[in-house]
Structure 1
């Protein structure tokens, strides 16, 4: 991964830097302000533990100096020690070149080194714990040992270089405020890739599902296993029509997949003159970890679909261990089924978020009902219903939570595809009513239902008009390591417009919108990085480490191998 290295490219004498740390990881904002190397509290390579260790070393060194020596040399010593916290530490210590040894001290600029020699040359042996008295009397030898030839990266020039530090620690935005990103192509030649998941089993492989009914295993080195992990294409109902919403639509690995080998799939079928959605359980093969046991299928749930569109398709496990199933409203336009539509009818499984327990069932039933499901004691409601009023939620995810505070952990966020005017993003709450068909986004759709005082619906955290896009694709709240600038930002897209978007929650709980776009060629001009993608954004995914990907295609047909999976890369890294 190139973002793990310091890269320097010269374009008409302009230097573009990619800061990195001694452990080859990107810089970050410390969770607590540093008390010693305070210059790097907002963005750098040290946490509070490393900061305290550097402070202890400084105190040890200064114990050998009198007050005059501390006054004259203390700042030099502090500056040199604290370069370990610089976002450019890897370059200052020559850590990015595996063929050269790691420098004991950061590379200094010539003028600064000369100043240090005149003022404090006798402290060098204290800083390094080595006897360097042989070079202390010769300024040329002294600075040959300490100076870094690259005048752009040496200390302290690295702090004042405008190009290197422009926007450091921030995702770069263009003149219109669009956050600029680059991409890395991870997989291609896919037929409508609808989902990417990982097994959270320590293997760091990932699984990509195609609408036709194939699931492929990709190994950590990017290679694909020759035979599909799962092939149920003969059972899956779909067609080559562009935009057909039926097919293999979702996959979820059991939270304990490492030990029980279970996974669950969501797909369309044709049975007894009806189209249905089916949720099934499979086991991985006992002989091959990269192959499913195709004979192990156990049908968990089937729901009849009155139309060929709005099939839902998301399936995932919450942090409570229960399986969540996101169904569409049944299709056609305006949810025309019954007096007030399927979505508002709690006796229907369509237009819902369902929650079931598929673990530890000892009575031979396909699943159990969690005892705290919200409508368990409501006579006219299906006990599986967890939330309702959904039109066609397409792509939902579970927030891993802030890596330091844990804030947000476990919340489920979804994109819900709109009707005529608005697309929306929702945070799922137990027992919540998400308004459809009474409302579309924040707007009334069915005025009679909308004015019903008992509606008590939960408003979206964000809705956008069809001038921006016409089919939302839900994404993930980024919680990975490689792009700290995106931390906590919800990344999602639109299938029809190809627009990439983001939301960031502020301290008041409001979500602020910022568009994402591709960085210019100069910013993405590194091997394996690109700044363009196929526009039909089908799905998003994250790997075991929480790094973020999206899947799109140039031709939205299950029969055309025009699908690609991209990894999102922050070019400021």
Structure 2
């Protein structure tokens, strides 16, 4: 099952990928946050620094109309107040009373949640407006009553020249998009209905309305984009077919990649094999490379997971060349479950592969299980260099800073271990202004019998399985081994809440500023 997020445009879609089900449902849960976000907002709020609006940490004394939700902190508020008084000091009390509100409102638009629109900051081909866009009637009233204040508010030559005539001045302050002119922007209910509002939910969940963007699919397991500027979305079916969806929502008739004859899968409910993962090379726009993670049956009828590299046809970016396949890695799967399936590129340019522990109950493989065995590639986060020199006998390179590269008997591909079945992971793009959080990898790790967990991947980390499940011991003897130094989850929940965590994304979009920095994920069983 695959669901998409609240944004209505493909370029801003958030999705939650779910597995092993042919019915398309829509849900998002955040069990850790007691909020319901009010949806139905058509706005695209944005600040002058291109960051999303926020609730100021401290009270705004001057631009107080934006103290609940806007683009100013207390420092910026004080700067605007100083600019205001530098204008008002030129007038007596009566003139201040006549023009004070005009000047205050115009200056405070830098604090508006629509500041980027008001100052036409989103068009890089045009200079930033010095004064905000004003609706024509408001502009006319301001000019008629207080046009002498214009020269005190700005020294911009174009504005000062236009200020000699009312019509020229007001036409200069017109916006390309009239919906955002002040003050009508704050009166537009389509834009401002519940903007920035949060309401407590007694169930402790944040729920959203989602928009269906695709249907008629057979067990869709992932939806990714190529980051090549085309805004195409690629949806993979578990049976081994990848489809291209165009920005207008239409699907191309011919598949992007057809692997059904090679992929081991079945129509059985709960079959975890199949086409499970896909990642585009960071330089896909130039090299046309992408990578696929899928289940196979080799010539000796041994089941394996395979990671392969493909290229698109040079004459058709909407079709992959099936004959271009280069096998990167194969790992034997002892059982049919716990196949992992996530592959992605980190901000370091390396390919990360997330494998399951090999299946069965309790990772019974060997003395301590596959997950705790650093010589095994199952139950791991692997990191490969698909661009650099190949390691001896391998189709890829080993990043020189992989944590166990010099450890005897440890597989050099291992980046982290002790994972059970990380199904969906994602890279945090980071705060759009500060970059904080950029590069963190979040994963949902499916639990055994009691707990589901969410982890942040760190180099060399041991995530505890099979010693621990969530925060609690699973294998008592292993759990008591103090040498494990396992990394605890950032969040875990019991099976009274859900079973089989999927994973998700840290939201960094502009459509829903209250979600900025929040990790949004799904659970397979409870919907």
In the superposition, the TM-score normalised over structure 1's length comes to: 0.69
2:271 aligned partner:
244
- Does the 8 A contact of 1:19 with 1:90 survive in 2? no
Shift of 1:158: 5.6
Is it true that 1:203 corresponds to 2:230 in the alignment? yes
Residues 315-353 of structure 1, C-alpha deviations (whole Å, 9 max, x = no match): 111111111111101001111111111111111111111
2: CA distance between counterparts of 1:439 and 1:390? 10
2:108 aligned partner:
82
Within a 5 Å distance, the mapping from 1:340-419 to structure 2 comes to 340-361=368-389, 365-419=394-448
1:316 aligned partner:
344
Is it true that 1:29 corresponds to 2:54 in the alignment? yes
1: CA distance between counterparts of 2:46 and 2:423? 41
In the superposition, the TM-score normalised over structure 2's length comes to: 0.75
2: CA distance between counterparts of 1:485 and 1:20? 12
- Does the 8 A contact of 2:46 with 2:53 survive in 1? no
Shift of 1:61: 6.3
CA distance 1:202–1:335, shift in 2 (3 Å): same
2: CA distance between counterparts of 1:356 and 1:480? 30
| 454-463 or 364-373: bigger deviation | 364-373
Within a 5 Å distance, the mapping from 1:438-457 to structure 2 comes to 438-457=467-486
| SS of residue paired to 1:300 | strand
| SS of residue paired to 1:186 | coil
Residues 8-56 of structure 1, C-alpha deviations (whole Å, 9 max, x = no match): xxxxxxxx97655599999612899989745425523679999899889
Residues 416-457 of structure 1, C-alpha deviations (whole Å, 9 max, x = no match): 001011111111111111111111111111111111121211
CA distance 1:131–1:258, shift in 2 (3 Å): same
1:339 aligned partner:
367
Residues 258-308 of structure 1, C-alpha deviations (whole Å, 9 max, x = no match): 111111110000111211000101111111011111110000110000000
2: CA distance between counterparts of 1:410 and 1:305? 30
2:327 aligned partner:
299
1:123 aligned partner:
146
| SS of residue paired to 2:285 | helix
2:96 aligned partner:
70
- Does the 8 A contact of 1:402 with 1:408 survive in 2? yes
| SS of residue paired to 1:449 | helix
Shift of 1:479: 1.1
- Does the 8 A contact of 1:107 with 1:154 survive in 2? no
Shift of 1:105: 3.5
- Does the 8 A contact of 1:107 with 1:155 survive in 2? no
How many equivalent residue pairs? 453
CA distance 1:191–1:17, shift in 2 (3 Å): closer
1:517 aligned partner:
none
- Greater per-residue strand proportion: 1
Shift of 1:476: 0.9
Is it true that 1:194 corresponds to 2:194 in the alignment? no
CA distance 1:186–1:31, shift in 2 (3 Å): farther
Shift of 1:170: 3.4
- Does the 8 A contact of 1:356 with 1:368 survive in 2? yes
Within a 5 Å distance, the mapping from 1:213-292 to structure 2 comes to 213-271=240-298, 272-292=300-320
2: CA distance between counterparts of 1:68 and 1:258? 63
- Does the 8 A contact of 1:172 with 1:180 survive in 2? no
CA distance 1:124–1:178, shift in 2 (3 Å): farther
1: CA distance between counterparts of 2:118 and 2:353? 51
2: CA distance between counterparts of 1:42 and 1:195? 38
CA distance 1:206–1:216, shift in 2 (3 Å): same
1:515 aligned partner:
none
1:40 aligned partner:
66
Shift of 1:222: 1.4
- Does the 8 A contact of 1:471 with 1:495 survive in 2? yes
- Does the 8 A contact of 1:236 with 1:269 survive in 2? yes
Give the aligned CA root-mean-square deviation in angstroms. Answer: 4.1
